[in-house]
């Protein structure tokens, strides 16, 4: 756990968890993402978890990490949030999670396993929660079928994976924003469709019927889709590979910071 606490800390600071990609580190994500500078401006705290595995991907495959308080990576990151809330008198209603690639996958896993902790999540070029599940129980296992976009299911089946991550939970769920590039060959672009189906299923929405579709938004060749007043937002980046660049100012708007 690495943490950035700005000099001008808000009285009851929001918290953003920023989760690095495969081959990445907390230091690399600290240096390469916009959240440190934004924290200086806005007074929130940033938690940068670091993967304990060689290759530095996150465990998004084991039953433990896909279960609330299951003892895996997701549990460790949740404990980082709880520690930070207590240590710095953080605002429990303004805790957010984001990440890129493997960190994007973990963002979906965190939103699924700890919906009680997070108000919103932003996923950059990830996969749906549970898509990398290892039938053999592998920890930090690679799932080629998922990576290649071959794992396809219904919104109801994808949503069940989220509901099963925290059985019996009846409270609110974090709103979600999903970015993906059409030319992604590392985590195939179909993973965008499956992730949208997952959260649409969780929210009881039709993934094929967004309320609003905006071409060339937030930039040329990006299309933004919105459901239920922004509870779910998809941003599909035409011609962009792995991974979509982080959009710090837009992230702040989605998080309400």
Active site residue 101: yes
Average pLDDT value for residue range 195-206: 98
Per-residue model confidence as pLDDT tens digits over 25-48: 999 999 999 999 999 999 999 999
pLDDT at residue 203 greater than cutoff 90: yes
Structure tokens at 66: 């896909």
| % residues pLDDT > 70 (the chain) | 100
Report pLDDT for 21: 98
What's the mean per-residue pLDDT of the chain? 97
Whole-Å CA distances, 245 to 34, 147, 176: 10, 19, 17
Per the omega criterion (within 30 degrees of 0), is the bond before 243 cis?
A: yes
* Percent of the chain predicted with pLDDT > 90: 97
Instruction: Quote the pLDDT of residue 79.
Output: 98
**Region 213-221 average pLDDT:** 98
**Predicted local distance difference test score (pLDDT) of residue 55:** 87
Q: Which of 33, 74, 101, 102 is catalytic?
A: 101
H or E element at residue 178: strand 175-181
Q: Give how far Cα 100 sits from Cα of 12, 105, 239, 251, Å.
A: 27, 8, 18, 13
pLDDT digits (tens, 9 = 90+) for 131-153: 999 988 889 889 999 999 999 99
pLDDT given at position 136 = 84
Q: Which residue in the block uniquely carries the two structure tokens 């690679």?
A: 142
pLDDT tens figures, 51-82: 999 889 999 999 999 999 999 999 999 999 99
pLDDT of residue 30: 98
**183: pLDDT confidence band, cut at 50, 70 and 90?**
very high
Q: What would the pLDDT profile of 226-254 be if each residue is shown by its tens digit?
A: 999 999 999 999 999 999 999 999 999 99
Radius of gyration of the chain from its Cα atoms, rounded to whole angstroms: 17
pLDDT of residue 54: 87
- CA 257, CA 251: separation in Å to the nearest integer? 9
Q: Which pLDDT value is given to residue 225? A: 98
């Amino acid at each position: 756990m690495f943490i950035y606490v700005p000099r001008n800390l808000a009285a009851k600071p929001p918290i953003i968890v920023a989760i690095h990609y495969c081959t990445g580190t907390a230091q690399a994500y600290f240096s390469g993402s916009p959240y440190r500078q934004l924290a200086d401006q806005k007074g929130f705290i940033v938690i940068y978890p670091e993967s304990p595995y060689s290759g530095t991907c996150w465990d998004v495959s084991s039953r433990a990490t896909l279960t609330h308080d299951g003892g895996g990576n997701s549990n460790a990151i949740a404990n980082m949030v709880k520690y930070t809330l207590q240590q710095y008198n953080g605002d429990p209603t303004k805790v957010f999670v984001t990440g890129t690639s493997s960190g994007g996958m973990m963002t979906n896993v965190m939103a699924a396993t700890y919906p009680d902790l997070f108000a919103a999540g932003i996923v950059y070029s990830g996969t749906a929660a549970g898509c990398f599940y290892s039938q053999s129980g592998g920890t930090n296992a690679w799932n080629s079928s998922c990576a290649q976009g071959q794992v396809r299911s219904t919104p109801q089946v994808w949503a069940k994976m989220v509901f099963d991550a925290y059985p019996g939970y009846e409270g609110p769920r974090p709103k979600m924003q999903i970015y993906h590039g059409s030319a992604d060959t590392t985590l195939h672009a179909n993973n965008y469709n499956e992730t949208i189906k997952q959260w649409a299923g969780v929210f009881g929405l039709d993934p094929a019927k967004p309320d609003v579709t905006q071409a060339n938004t937030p930039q040329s060749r990006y299309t933004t889709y919105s459901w239920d007043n922004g509870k779910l937002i998809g941003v599909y980046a035409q011609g962009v590979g792995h991974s979509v660049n982080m959009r710090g100012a837009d992230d702040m708007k989605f998080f309400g910071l």
